[in-house]
Structure 1
Amino acid sequence: MKYKSVYTYTLLIPAAIIYGVLFILPTLLSFFFSFTRWDLREWQWIGFENFIMFFEEPSLMIGFQNTLIYAGLTMGLKVVFGLIFAVFLCSKLKTKSFLRATVFFPTLVSTIAVGITFSALMHPSRGLINETLAMLGINGPNWLGNPNLALISVALVDVWKGVGIATVIFIAGIMSIPKDYYEAAQIDGGNKFNEFWNITLPLSRPAINTVIILAFIGGLRTFDLVWAMTGGGPGFSSDLIASIIYKQYQGGFYGLSTAGNVILFMLVAAIAFPLYMFLNRKEVDL
């Protein structure tokens, strides 16, 4: 038995080395360099100065607010639309395999490519979206140039791209529900809405919790789509914490931006872990 135990742990050594080199070591180095002023050649210990400077950033509060709004909006829409699509795609449709592939396809496309494409589609005068609205007699807005619409426009594109993952998770959850429940509901005279409300929705709670956590964390960490579509503009109206950190990297403030990454990591952890515990507690109560 002891030999088998040693042999088992031996097989884990290569994976542990890779995990340590690619995750643990960079994480520890990030925490260390967040307390320094550094470049590619040398570093100087400055304590908490980077963190103080980061919290004095004029656009930081806007970034925090935008990040929470963006994460909450994209998470909510992915849960709602993902569940609706999953219920529809689990019904008796002849083309459901094709439709499932169609819903999942945007997930496979590069985020930068999606951002560039939708930037063209949302152009205020030459974009296909506004040209289509003009044919209907509607004056389309400046989707990415209006400070009140830019963040919401990017969030909607994020939902379009990411709802496929949520749909797949919900489909897996719905498919795992025993058919006996639905047969019993039909015998009792229940309609489709009763089946959804009393069977599908409660028993899909594990899938719902998974989508909420993944989508919310993804929203908090989003950078590439926002940068490809708006660059954080106009002004700071669509800046997220991640885009603020990137701008600091661009300016050569490596220690300051590293401190920002540490703060973002702690923010995600401070929200994700309590949310995970809360959702699991609610699941057990059911």
Structure 2
Amino acid sequence: MAGDDQRVASRTATRRPPSPYPSWFYLPAAIIYGALFLFPTIASLFFSLTRWTLFDATFIGLDNFRQFFSEPFLVQGLVNTLIYAVTTSGLKVVLGLLLGVLLTSQIIGRDYLRSVVFFPVLVSTVGVGITFTAMMHPTQGVINTTLALFGVPGPGWLTDPRLALLSVALVDVWKGVGLATVIYMAGIVSIPLDFYEAASIDGASAWQKFWAITLPLAMPATITVIILSLIGGLRSFDLIWSMTRGGPGFTSDVIASVIYKQYQAGFYGLSTAGNVVLFVLVALIIVPLSIFLNRKQVEL
């Protein structure tokens, strides 16, 4: 026994320290992450506290942020961003779920309909914006021309301050609901058929199956769609810019379009502060929401 103890102690004493070699595989990813995310983020935080040009930077503290929240059109852009994000994400969740249920059922032409629903996701956002701008023209657009055939006066979809932001949001939903549908389809087909067979034996209706089985068991897909749609809505720029340029006036401006306008005007420090505000806004909304939804998923 004593000899065994000595051999074990000897092995322990001569055991080599762990090699750092496996950790080297993290190095390329860490370099890329630092160069493309950490460094730009830290640089943005610094330049948001300055009045800067390409060749000079003067530290001014929080003046850019004070100015940002004191300008009415900048605050309006913040409000519009929240409205736009909530509207588009809500509609994508509802329509994506309904289409997901429809396109996983036994209907005629299911594969063709799946392609039709997903096709807008593949189209260029700027191309979609230009196309719908022409279609929504108040006098010559296809939509109002069609409505006129039935004696219905078409509104100014992109020229009416009350409708401009909502019109762009509906186009965003049309383009993005295909991705939400695919996510829901993946979530629905992963639900075991045994649950539905047991519910049928118990005499459950189609609505009861949807409410008691499909909806709760598709919660991971719902969480994914909500998070992705909210992030996309909060950061949306290209569709809004290609359709309205933030107009009429500032009624359809969002934070991203306001930031771009400030860059165009040469207010680099103010626009950088807007970028920081957008970053903080996304983080404050997405991180707590993600934690809350994942906890709800575990409870289910």
Fold shared per TM-score above 0.5: yes
Q: Distance in 1 between matches of 2:54 and 2:136?
A: 39
Relative distance call for 1:231 and 1:191 in structure 2 (3 A) is same
Shift of 1:98: 2.1
Could you tell me which residue of structure 2 aligns to residue 279 of structure 1?
A: 293
Q: Where do residues 96-107 of structure 1 align in structure 2 (5 Å cutoff)?
A: 96-107=110-121
Tell me, what secondary structure is at the counterpart of 1:59? helix
Q: Which residue of 2 aligns with 1:205?
A: 219
Letter in 1 for 2:29: A
Could you tell me which runs of 5 or more consecutive residues in structure 2 were left unpaired when the two chains were aligned: 1-14
Aligned: 1:145 with 2:167? no
Partner of residue 6, structure 2: none
Q: State how far apart, in whole Å, the 2-side matches of 1:8 and 1:189 are.
A: 57
User: Residues of 2 paired with 1:147 and 1:65: CA distance?
Assistant: 15
Question: Cα deviation per residue 1:92-143 (whole Å; 9 max; x = unaligned)?
Answer: 2352222212111111111111111100000001101111111122111110
CA distance in 1, matches of 2:55, 2:116: 49
Match of residue 246 from structure 2: 232
The structure 1 segments of at least 4 consecutive aligned residues displaced by more than 6 Å after TM superposition are: 1-5
Q: Which amino acid aligns with 2:238?
A: D
Q: Are 1:17 and 2:31 matched, yes or no?
A: yes
The one of 209, 218, 229 aligned to 1:215: 229
Which residue number corresponds to residue 88 of structure 1?
Answer: 102
SS of aligned partner of 2:232: helix
- Is 2:204 the partner of 1:190? yes
User: In the aligned structure 2, how far is the partner of 1:94 from the partner of 1:4?
Assistant: 61
Distance change (3 Å), C-alpha of 1:143 and 1:13: same
Q: 1:27 to 1:199 in 2, by over 3 A?
A: same
Following superposition of structure 1 onto structure 2, how do residues 1-286 of structure 1 map, counting pairs within 5 Å?
6-286=20-300
CA shift at 1:5, angstroms? 6.6
Partner amino acid, structure 2, of 1:225? L
Task: For 2:85, give the aligned amino acid.
Answer: A
Identity percentage over the alignment?
Answer: 63
Q: Deviations over 1:195-248 (max 9, x none)?
A: 111100011111111111111121111111111111111111111111111111
Matching residue's letter, 2:281: L
TM-score (norm 2): 0.91
Distance in 1, matches of 2:140 and 2:20, equals 66
Residues 1:185 and 1:10: Cα distance change in structure 2 (over 3 Å):
same
Count, aligned residues: 286
Deviation of 1:67 after TM superposition, in Å, equals 1.1
Quick one: which amino acid aligns to residue 263 of structure 1? V
* Structure 1: segments with no counterpart, 5+ residues: none
Return the alpha-carbon distance in structure 2 between the equivalents of residues 198 and 154 of structure 1. Answer: 35
Instruction: Call closer, same or farther: CA 1:193–1:40 in 2, change over 3 Å.
Output: same
**Cα RMSD for the two superposed structures:** 1.6
TM-score w.r.t. the length of structure 1 is: 0.96
Give the Cα–Cα distance (whole angstroms) in 1 for the partners of residues 237 and 54 of structure 2.
Answer: 24
Deviations 1:65-97 (A, max 9, x none): 211111111011000000000000101235222
Quick check: 9-18 or 248-257, which moved more? 9-18
* AA matched with 1:164: G
